[in-house]
Amino acid sequence: MTKIEVNGALLAYDEVGDGSPVILLHAGIADRRMWREQVGALATRHRVIALDLRGYGESELPPTAFAHHDDVAGLLDALGLTRAALVGCSFGGAVAIDTALAHPDRVSALALFGSAVSGHEWSDETNDLWENLVGDVDPEDFAATAAAEVRFWVVGPERTPQEVDAELVAFATAMDERALAAELALSAVDVAELDPPAIGRLAELTMPVLVTAGAADVPDIRHLADRIAAEAPRAQRLPDTPDAAHLLPLEHPTPTNTALQTFLP
């Protein structure tokens, strides 16, 4: 693990390999450890940088205003990189998209797994799924909230916990408990959003885009993958991966790595 100053904050990252640069951006329920199966696989051809976004994992959170997408561009500056391919999952996918819109000359390609999109409002269907599956949870109880989020996102509404690898569930729960503490701290800081948000600007993503999702993920995420693929001019939509939910790269690394090795420049 290395730390580097970016826009006034020390950000933590792992770096391995040589070649064209690739930055891995984690889900909001996780940290850079979710890419444990991708780092080595991609390092045979790429300079791979797995980043903890500001406030998450081992990255710092100074009490100053910032934007995650500006941090990604700042990381490129700090590392002396002109451009990089961005690989994102969930919230990390949203950050990758926002970076590509705010700093289009810095992003050579986007690979999106179960990506969120800034400005998207969750559907009534997804809200009802949450209510039916986990119901009310005390947000101050990190253990209970993490268990609920992992049940909803990592297991998924179409599977039972018994159908999912127990080690995956335990690892995701540990990451999410840490991420929830990060999000509580982030709520006290002015985090700037992309304006206007990405949901109405997907046609501006002119770089190559790879997009996919887990077949067991919530419907909104799969619909967003369809929308990104339909609106981004150079997007490639891979079929949803069977028996996979929101942390697709962690749950099914082999098809993820194959897709990335084929797609990344």
Would you state the pLDDT for residue 139?
A: 74
* Alpha-carbon distance values, 64 to 52, 171, 183 (Å): 18, 31, 15
* Helices vs. strands in the chain: H and E counts, helices first: 9, 8
Handedness of CA 197, 14, 237, 114 (dihedral sign): negative
Q: Are 30 and 246 in contact (CB under 8 A)?
A: no
> Would you list the domain boundaries of the chain?
2-121+189-263, 124-183
Read off the tokens for 90.
């969930």
Strand ranges across the sheet with 84-89: 2-6, 9-16, 46-51, 20-25, 84-89, 107-113, 209-212, 235-237
CATH topology for the 2-121+189-263 domain: Rossmann fold (3.40.50)
Q: Residue 239 has what DSSP assignment?
A: P
CA atoms within a 13 Å half-sphere pointing along the CA-CB vector of 138: 5
| Predicted pLDDT of residue 169 | 94
pLDDT of residue 142: 84
Structure tokens at 18: 């040589």
Cα–Cα distance measured from residue 37 to residue 86, given in angstroms and rounded to the nearest whole number: 16
Along the 265 residues of the chain, how does pLDDT read in single tens digits? 999 999 999 999 999 999 999 999 999 999 999 999 999 999 999 999 999 999 999 999 999 999 999 999 999 999 999 999 999 999 999 999 999 999 999 999 999 999 999 999 999 888 888 888 777 777 778 888 999 999 999 999 989 999 999 999 999 999 999 999 999 999 999 999 999 999 999 999 999 999 999 999 999 999 999 999 999 999 999 999 999 999 999 999 999 999 999 999 8
Q: Residue 221 half-sphere exposure, CB side, CA atoms within 13 Å?
A: 30
Could you give the CA distance from residue 11 to residue 71 in angstroms, rounded to a whole number? 9
What pLDDT is recorded for position 67?
97
C-alpha angle 88-91-93 in degrees, rounded to nearest 5: 30
